[in-house]
Amino acid sequence: MRKIINAPENVVKESLEGFIGANAAFYRKHPKVNGVLYKRRRKNKVALVIGGGSGHEPMFAGFVGEGLADAAACGGIFASPDPATIYETAKAVNEGCGVLFVYGCYAGDNLNFDMAEEMLQKDGIPTAHVRVQDDVASAPRSEREKRRGIAGDVFVVKTAGAACDAGLSLEEVTRITEKANERTYSIGVATASAQLPGVEEPIFTLEEGKIEYGMGLHGEKGIRRVDWAPMDELVNNMYAEIKKDAAFEKGDEVCVLLNSLGATTIIELSIAFRHLKKLLEEDGIAIYDSELNNYCTSQEMGGFSITLLKLDEELKQCYDHPCRSPYYSKAPLSGEEREEDKVLDVAETETAAGEASAYVRKDSYEALDAEDVRAMLLYVSEKLIASEPMLTKADSEIGDGDHGLGMKTGMMSVKSAMQKVATDGCASDVFGEAGQAMLTSMGGASGVIFGSLFLAGAQGEKKKTMDAKALAEMFEKSLQAIRERGGASVGDKTMVDALSPAVDAMKEAADKGLAQMLTEGEKAAHAGSDATKDQVAKFGRARTLGERALGFADAGSISTWLIIQAMRDFVIGE
């Protein structure tokens, strides 16, 4: 499939410009980041900010509106927004009563929203969050905290918007929203893969006559592959999974959402609802309201999900609260015209990442000063940008295929930063600038993790120059910060599997000079990355695959190896 776009790296920016331009009566764009702000929001209430990866249209931006969210922080395609985007978006709609964040439970979203909350709390802004965890296929109920957020986002956001509109406290709004989250159950299936803009291959392929069962919202593979079946049989199995988890009782009332993943038609959803309604009636479960629509899509993926919200009187009251956006409405518009916020006019800065690099390499290096680090990181960024197709393919095997584009975006930002960075100061500060560039541009889990690779190690004592020992110490500090932030260890099939042995090798060879130290570190990183082929993932989107992830290396570990390899190549002159 070929998508009609311009440059892949501009898809989100350009699509938001068009989206907001077409709905200018409701929205304006944040002047500095990819944040969608509701113009007519109520004052003196808890601000509701939602967000996540783009490509799930109309979620998330389409659920900003009256009785819904006040703003949405928009990340790259299938990648969470970075902390700066979340922070700036939330600050723009804060009314002094606190901010509630609602987003799907994915590693990247969790890391980036957590960091944004820390930034807001330092500013004295109270925050809370609810991570949508409705996908019953992604983890057992005993491990509910590991469940993904899929189409249940709709019901949770709807509830949160109503609770915020009621003028309740942040604590009370969070309690009600979490109740809706706990009582929302979903499961999805896929019949065809999605394809990311700018990527030539689909995320995965399905053999003829197969269906991916337990499909996630980002296009990641499901938990198992099953034979093609008629709709009634498929709905039987999906409903049985939800019913077992939800422990429904006769007399319960539910709201129903049948959500297309992008390519599945209303005709197919209607056939599914016809049978689901029969099953619910047989169990004595009343349908309070129902929806058949495309609300949480995965580009053009074939397939759909079933979501049930188990109501009580409090949740029913929230569900009945009027809401309106161009893409989702309940009940008539109830509010009068409200004064629009003053539109800020701040020019967005253009990246210089496409410009040619300008640096001089020395014949040999015993230590790196600020100019040396700048030159080396320019080389590293160019190597990783050129590696995007390989990294995309690696991530497509067991993830959602966005890692290559994410690393390319991050390294383009590094390249731009290095073309402007001051080189009359400390070498450690230049590493810090590179880390900050990745952190604020990449989104997804990779933005926080790979930003920390340089940023965390550069914090603390300033170093005018960095020899082998200082560089090894920097990577050791970065490794510690990454472990603390993400919780991964060696053997979990993450970038830590490449970084940890590389750090050990660097420390051992630190007295042998930069070239030998980086050579030993590169060998260890390569071996560690290769070892992930024999590991079962414990983090990220490959976690639900179990042994199906065997035989494939973790894309993050490959990027880690390539970064160290590029540093070695620069220092030794290859």
Half-sphere exposure of 419 (CA within 13 A, CB side): 16
Q: How far apart are CA 55 and CA 220, in angstroms?
A: 13
Catalytic hit among 129, 218, 403, 526 = 218
* Residue 39 to residues 11, 127, 271, 342, 486, Cα–Cα distance (Å): 24, 22, 39, 9, 36
CB neighbours (10 Å) of residue 55? 28
> Could you tell me the two tokens for 172?
């009370």
218 is known as an active-site residue: yes
Q: Which residue has the tokens 């500060």?
A: 429
> Could you tell me the two tokens for 101?
């964040």
Q: How far apart are CA 41 and CA 288, in angstroms?
A: 28
**Preceding peptide of 304 cis, ω within 30°:** no
Do 16 and 61 touch, CB atoms closer than 8 A?
A: yes
**What 8-state DSSP symbol labels residue 347?**
P
* Cβ neighbours of residue 304 closer than 8 Å, sequence gap 6 or more: 188, 189, 258, 259, 260, 261, 264, 268, 269, 272
Nearest to 273 by CA among 294, 263, 259, 253: 259
Q: Which residue has the tokens 């920390």?
A: 452
Give SS3 for 343: coil
* Cβ neighbours of residue 295 closer than 8 Å, sequence gap 6 or more: 58, 59, 62, 151, 154, 257, 259, 327, 328
Do 64 and 90 touch, CB atoms closer than 8 A?
A: no
Active site residues: 218
